[in-house]
Structure 1
């Protein structure tokens, strides 16, 4: 019957190993490894190391989610801002945070994959070691022979069946590994396992659980042939007479001795440090162990580095006001030009302070706490969305709220345009100059549903230009809401993949 290995159960056992105060170790091992001497110790150690890898994987995943959620929260804050300078500053921080989060995602994906392979290799080895220990025969003692009369009529009444009940002992019966016990009873403790110190690992030899050779011997007076023939009634066979008792002395059986003493295995191609990992070892077939493959995957897991977690909100005020990248993005948002490069620090500070505040206290209150601590409440129809922006950004209603905020912002721009039409004309002229220079937005939009200029100009917020209508409110929004254009792409795509797709045409 096929056996099923429950890796989830093994992982649970790994997570419940006992803790103790760590001590120092050297020569490529941590303190726990120096105490490991047998296959039972190896099982406990491998479970603990797998637990460490899973914890690192969890931490990397949490860091990545936090970085992405901060970028999304900055975009929500950008959309909710009512001043151009503040919006430009928030958009700059959001853009940089998004870039850093994307870079981190690439690094985190590779690190998590390596950690996961190392975890699987260790748990596979644990599962196979346990199974092979259950099958490992360590002694065989043949029992005394006995005879029974066959009561059936066939082949004949006096047929004799000789039986021999052997006493078998398996490793699991003589040396069972227990993963339970009190801290004082366990040599291998989770807190003593320190992956950063490892460049060697202790593993049982691959031959430890190989099929053992069984040797059976029978002793007799003279030679086996003459002893058997001494039974006159049945020459060469054991019969009902007492000749078997006097001619055969007995039988013995033996099995190769079992040795599970752990051996040192280098994790990499270098013997005195964690160097280049091996890449040629293949996973062993079921029923076998492979120290080389385990060492190879553990090496890759150990070399997987936890990417630094980016956080623009985690930067101090003093660091931000000297950040040339932030200054350049703010300037681009406000003026559409980039002239900060090469300017002195005072100019950079002045520009950034316009957006984030003139003091560290202003920045902490109006930016950091506004996003991470302040409770917000938004009413969209019958739907009330409440919470910190970082919490909302991580939730399922982030896309809905962002769309709502963008709609409100566009309405405000329409109101400004109607109140001051000349501003729209000036913006139009500036935009045309930009089109000629940048070769952007040169395509003309023809509205076939409108038959003449007069009908369209009444309350439509558009102007007639070269036999086509151009939406001047879009041109105003282009200046005032540059930061909004990439807003939907800022939020993690899992929040609204289809919603984003339908809105890209209107945004861009």
Structure 2
């Protein structure tokens, strides 16, 4: 009976330690990201058209919003790791291991507080940049709707002049021709699909 309990206790400790290692690995590669993180402009060279630019801008906005959301989660994950380390220290039987886990727990809580202190100064910049980038994308969409792509003479329409005879204008039998130009806009000529940022296009979210 004693051996069975010992084996069970050992397996529980092993599970806790393995879970702790997984948390440490995940948090070790996490860091508070600011708006000046390099790499976002690498895909910009692939955006020669206005449609590509829209996709690129929306991709950047998505990335910055994701980073801001992640910044909020990182301190919480670090606190979880610190609590797990403290628990590991409690169940450790070896004094050296216990001291090591306690030291790691204290250090992890310090890192969590430092990360939490960065969020108020970093995230507002990311949110502001996200709004500005999204607004620029919207402006480009509007420009595409307004920019004339082609212009050509439309069909001529003839009609009689039926007014102004008393004022000395041409007689009613006078025929005048009216012609309205036919225009097409960039939005109508070139379709711009922005629904799927990972679709079959030059600008992909994964490349930004």
Q: Which residue of 1 aligns with 2:164?
A: 155
1:62/1:50 CA distance change after superposition, 3 Å: same
Q: Which residue of 1 aligns with 2:157?
A: 146
Q: Is the 8 A contact 2:153 2:182 kept in 1?
A: yes
Identify which of structures 1 and 2 has the higher relative contact order when contacts are C-alpha pairs closer than 8 Å and 6+ apart. 2
Q: Which residue of 2 aligns with 1:186?
A: 201
- SS of 1:185's partner is coil
CA offsets 1:370-418 (integer angstroms, 9 cap, x no match) = xxxxxxxxxxxxxxxxxxxxxxxxxxxxxxxxxxxxxxxxxxxxxxxxx
Larger Rg, first or second structure (1 or 2):
1
Q: Which residue of 2 aligns with 1:107?
A: 118
Structure 1 distance, partners of 2:195, 2:74, is 33
Q: Which residue of 2 aligns with 1:46?
A: 57
Q: Which residue of 1 aligns with 2:141?
A: 130
Q: Is the 8 A contact 1:41 1:188 kept in 2?
A: yes
- SS of 2:125's partner is helix
CA offsets 1:14-44 (integer angstroms, 9 cap, x no match) = xxxxxxxxxxxxx9953x4443322211211
1:247-396 maps to which residues of 2 (within 5 A)? none
Structure 2 distance, partners of 1:169, 1:139, is 5
Q: CA deviation at 1:146?
A: 3.4
- SS of 1:148's partner is strand
Please provide the CA RMSD for this pair: 3.6
Q: CA deviation at 1:105?
A: 2.5
Relative to the length of structure 2, the TM-score reads 0.55
Structure 2 distance, partners of 1:54, 1:183, is 17
Q: Which residues of structure 1 form unaligned runs of 5+?
A: 1-26, 78-89, 194-508
Relative to the length of structure 1, the TM-score reads 0.25
Q: Is the 8 A contact 2:75 2:112 kept in 1?
A: yes
Q: Which residues of structure 2 form unaligned runs of 5+?
A: 1-38, 88-101, 166-170
* Larger proportion of helix: 2
Q: Which residue of 2 aligns with 1:357?
A: none
1:184/1:28 CA distance change after superposition, 3 Å: closer
Q: CA deviation at 1:189?
A: 1.5
1:184/1:63 CA distance change after superposition, 3 Å: closer
Partner residue of 2:184 out of 147, 169, 175: 169
CA offsets 1:156-198 (integer angstroms, 9 cap, x no match) = 47165541121112111112312257967312222122xxxxx
Q: Is the 8 A contact 1:133 1:172 kept in 2?
A: yes
Q: How many residues align?
A: 145
CA offsets 1:262-304 (integer angstroms, 9 cap, x no match) = xxxxxxxxxxxxxxxxxxxxxxxxxxxxxxxxxxxxxxxxxxx
Q: Which residue of 1 aligns with 2:132?
A: 121
Q: Is the 8 A contact 1:64 1:108 kept in 2?
A: no
Q: CA deviation at 1:135?
A: 0.2
Structure 1 distance, partners of 2:74, 2:40, is 29
1:128/1:184 CA distance change after superposition, 3 Å: closer
Q: CA deviation at 1:68?
A: 6.2
- SS of 2:115's partner is helix
Q: CA deviation at 1:61?
A: 0.6
Q: Is the 8 A contact 2:198 2:206 kept in 1?
A: no
1:132/1:184 CA distance change after superposition, 3 Å: closer
Structure 2 distance, partners of 1:172, 1:39, is 10
